[in-house]
Structures are given as structure tokens and as C-alpha cells.
Structure 1
Amino acid sequence: MEHITETPTVKAPAERFTGDVYLNPIEAPADPARLAAALVRFTPGARTNWHSHAKGQTLHVTDGVGLVGTRDGNVVLARAGQTVKCPPGEEHWHGATDTTLMAHIAILVGDADGDGTTWLEPVTDEQYRTALATAGR
């Protein structure tokens, strides 16, 4: 057993996120399990770039209200205590609403080359506004 008492908070890289996003790593992918997990905090309006995960991703919202959007225009409004699963290879993004902070635990299974995430272009302001409207915000 290993007791990890604290992981430092780091600012998420601007090339993968819009707005202020903060990460606390929980677990990095390593053999044999290759589990990756992090607590991710989004300020209002902050969001990830478009991305996908080779083996999918599970997002468990711990605080606030957030959005998860897909390329086909599907948008899920997720509140504290709710979980959203993104299937393998699905291009998606996630972040806070425009008025509320959102924190989630992001969980995925990596592969031999890392966490299996393919990062893409930023979500535009227009795409974000459309997602807010679709979610009824």
C-alpha cells in the first residue's frame, strides 16, 4: 500500500484548454493497470480542446455544473454526483458552464504509449455558445 498525502495543483496547458483549468493528478498510467485519473477544475467558461481517448473516458462531476459535447452536436449537462462516459475514439470536449465552476474526476485507461489521448483543435466560442443553448443555459 502507498499513502499519497498530496499532489500539487498545476495549471492545465494552454495548448489543450481554453480558460483557467487546474489539475491534480491522482494516478498516471503504468503497467499493469494503466489507469489514469485526475481531479480537474474548470472556471466559468473554461473547457478542453476537442479530443478523443483510445479506450474511452469516464467523467465524474464532483462540484458545480458542466457540459460534455460531441462532434454530432450532442450535449450533456452534468451536475455534481453525475457521471458521463465517452466511448473509445469519440471526439468530445468538456468544461464548465459560462456561470458556474465545475470540477470532475477524469478517469481513463492508457495504453503502452501513454494515456491514449489524441488532442485536437480548440472548441470555438461559437461551438461553446451553441452547446450552452442546446443544454438550455
Structure 2
Amino acid sequence: MVKNEQLKEKQLFPVGEANVAYQDFFVGQSYLSMLVNEPDVNVGVGNVTFEPGCRNNWHIHHAGYQILLVTGGEGWYQEEGKAAQHLVPGDVIVTKDGIKHWHGAIKDSWFSHVAITAGTPEWLEAVSNALYDAL
């Protein structure tokens, strides 16, 4: 049984379209709705929705940071060398400059968060199935 399936249709912010622009950096299907589209604002703000089991690759934000505001479903966040954190609505994650990390949905739940991102991301290897399946 899939949990939080309503997130694919209705949530606090628009679900958006299939995340084609970043599909090479995700395992599974995600959706992206950019919430701030002001050319003079140097921070990205987007609603990211993950289908069950979807997660992004390990990545690092250079000369910036990322703030995740969890708005729906259940997910994971993990920094390299640390235990994964189970995420639920209301959780806030702050990833500082240079920290290798990943985030995504748990195996049987949709997941959404607003990502506030500054700086340049460096996309790295996919999260292994062994690591993910062990959570």
C-alpha cells in the first residue's frame, strides 16, 4: 500500500511537471514547481515532489546552502558519514555549504518539500540501492 498518494494530485503548493531538467540526478520520478521566478533573486525556491522510492543523487552545494521545508508525506535526508533522518511534514533541514547529502521519499510514501537553494550544486553518484534498501 502506498501512503500519502494524495500528494500526486493536491498539496499546499503546485506539484508541477515531471522533473525532466534534473532527471539524470534522480532515481525514480520527481516533479518540480518553481515557486519564485524573479530574475533579480539569487536563490531558487521550488516545490519538489517525489514518488515512492524516488531520491536524488548525492550532491554538494558550493558557495551556498539548501533549506528543505517538508510539506507532505515521508522522506529521508542523509549527510555523508551520518545516519539518515526520517522526515515528516513540519521538519526543517539546513544543509550548509560543502556538505555531501541526499534526500528523497521512503519506499512506500509520496514525499514533498520546498527547497530553498543558493549557490551551485555539484551532482555526484546515485544513492546505492544497498544503502537505500537498508533504511
Normalised by the length of structure 1, the TM-score is 0.79
d(CA) in 1 for partners of 2:16, 2:52: 22
Rg larger for: 1
Report the equivalent of 1:135. Answer: none
Of the three residues 17, 22, 25, the one matched with 1:9 is 17
Cα separation, partners in 2 of 1:108 and 1:29, compared to 1, 3 Å: farther
TM-align CA RMSD: 1.9
Of the three residues 114, 122, 126, the one matched with 1:122 is 126
Q: Is 2:29 the partner of 1:20?
A: yes
Q: Is 2:91 the partner of 1:82?
A: yes
Contiguous gaps of at least 5 residues in structure 2: 1-13
- Say if 1:29 and 1:36, in contact at 8 Å, map to a contact too: no
Report the equivalent of 1:3. Answer: none
Which amino acid counterpart does residue 50 of structure 1 have in structure 2? W
- Residues 51-96 of structure 1: CA distance to partner in whole angstroms, max 9, x if unpaired? 0112111001100111001110321111011111111110000000
Report the equivalent of 2:79. Answer: 70
Report the equivalent of 2:45. Answer: 37
Cα separation, partners in 2 of 1:29 and 1:7, compared to 1, 3 Å: farther
Contiguous gaps of at least 5 residues in structure 1: 1-5, 111-115, 133-137
- Residues 76-117 of structure 1: CA distance to partner in whole angstroms, max 9, x if unpaired? 11101111111111000000001111000000123xxxxx11
Normalised by the length of structure 2, the TM-score is 0.80
